[in-house]
Each structure stands twice: as structure tokens, then as C-alpha cells.
Amino acid sequence: MNYKVIAIVPSAGRGKRFGPNINKPFQDLGGKPLVVWSIETLESVDEIAEIIPVLRKEDMERGVEVFERYKLSKIKRIAPGGKERQDSVYNGLKLVEDKNCIVLIHDGVRPLIEKPLIQEVIKELKGFDGVVLGVPIKDTIKEAKGGIIKKTLRRDSIWAIQTPQVFPYINILTAYERAMKEGFYLTDDAALVEGYGGKIKVIMGSYRNIKITTPEDLNMAEFFLSSKRNNQ
């Protein structure tokens, strides 16, 4: 693939489940800020030409200092976060200058993403409007309303979707512009493209590619890192 790949890394969440005074993207994980883990992996991927982190406005100065300290050279600019994740990603998309590029969106709080998975999701984009990572659901899933089970869903057709997600820039930008104009909000980037008729491919991700939402998730990430070090 000859198109430039630009990575947008939304990291502007307030981390409410960590506590009111906790700044989740800069929480320590194995001796490094949480957000640095995913950006370092993205930095190592040759196909990625630029990385645009998205941080809360009050965190941007700190972000510059942290990214310089870890010598993350593919970061040329930082986008300001918005009220919702969708607003934050849209702010990142508006900073992209090459309109013919490929955009890769990866949550800054998924620190354990592996380089081969990033390369695979980029490689699989040809012929699709987007490609996402996902893992098959292990648990039985039921649909319920008001505490009453309505039906049991077929587990073999349900995936838990992860990031990174990859799109031609014009596809994801068009979907975002339409959604923002209509006031249509979702928490998944691919869902916006799907909603306007886009064809999305899912490929196998990793059960270790967890999203850090609670302090317990951080403990799990520490366990995975410790296990990896012990096996090296």
C-alpha cells in the first residue's frame, strides 16, 4: 500500500471510574505513562508517517513534555479533546493535511496493542471502507429489558470490537461530518461508516488488547506485561 498512514490516538477521556483527580492517560504502567505504550508501538510501524494524539486542553502542555521525553518523533501536532470521544476524534481528523491518506484510529488507553496486528489491519484495507480488529465473544450473550431476558444471541456471530481501526481518510471524514451535522453520536468509529453504507471487514485481534477503563484493568495490563517479560 503506497498511501501515507496517519494515526489518530484519542486520549482525552476523563477516566471517571479512576476517580475525580486521576488523569488516566498519564497513569503509570510498568514505569511509563499509559498513553506512551500505544504510541511507542505505533511509532515502530514503518507504514505510519505521523501520529496525532488527542488530549484534553489542560493536558496538552504536559503531553508535549512527555512525548519529547520519550522521543516520539512522529508526533508533529496534538489535537484538543472534545466533550465526547467522537468530538475528540473529529478534532484529530481536521488536522490531517493529506486528504488521500489512510487514517488509523487507536485508543490511547489500549497499551498492549502489538505491532503485527497494526500492520495486518493496514494491509487488509484494500477493497473495503474500513478494517477493524475484534475478538469472538466467549460468554453467552443475552438481550434483556427491565431485568427480563428477551432472547439469547448466537455467540458464534458476535465479536467484541477493538482498535486500531483503519479507513481511507475521505470515508471516515465524510462519515464524521455527516454524523456531526445530524447530531448522531456513537462510541465506535466503524459504526459511523457502517451507518452510511460502508463495508467494514473485521480481522482477529487479541484478548490482551484490553482497554483500560477501571483500576482493575490496569492491574490486568500489569499482569500481562509481567507475564510477557517472564517468557522472554
Give the pLDDT of residue 232.
63
Average of pLDDT values for 52-68? 96
Split at pLDDT 50, 70, 90, the class of 106 is very high
Mean pLDDT for the chain overall: 93
CB 131 within 8 A of CB 203: yes
Split at pLDDT 50, 70, 90, the class of 155 is confident
E strand or H helix at 61: helix 60-69
What is the pairing mode between strands 142-145 and 148-152? antiparallel
Give the pLDDT of residue 1.
55
Domain count of the chain? Answer: 1
Between 227 and 41, the higher pLDDT residue:
41
Cell of 107: 485508543
Give the pLDDT of residue 19.
63
Split at pLDDT 50, 70, 90, the class of 188 is very high
Q: What's the CATH code of the domain at 226?
A: 3.90.550.10
Rounded to two decimals, what is the model's pTM? 0.94
Can you give the residue range of the structural domain that contains 52? 5-231
C-alpha distances out from residue 198 to 19, 192, 201, Å: 38, 9, 10
Split at pLDDT 50, 70, 90, the class of 22 is low
Give the CA diameter of the chain: 53
Average of pLDDT values for 173-190? 94
Give the pLDDT of residue 210.
96
Give the pLDDT of residue 17.
65
Residue 142 has pLDDT above 80, yes or no: yes
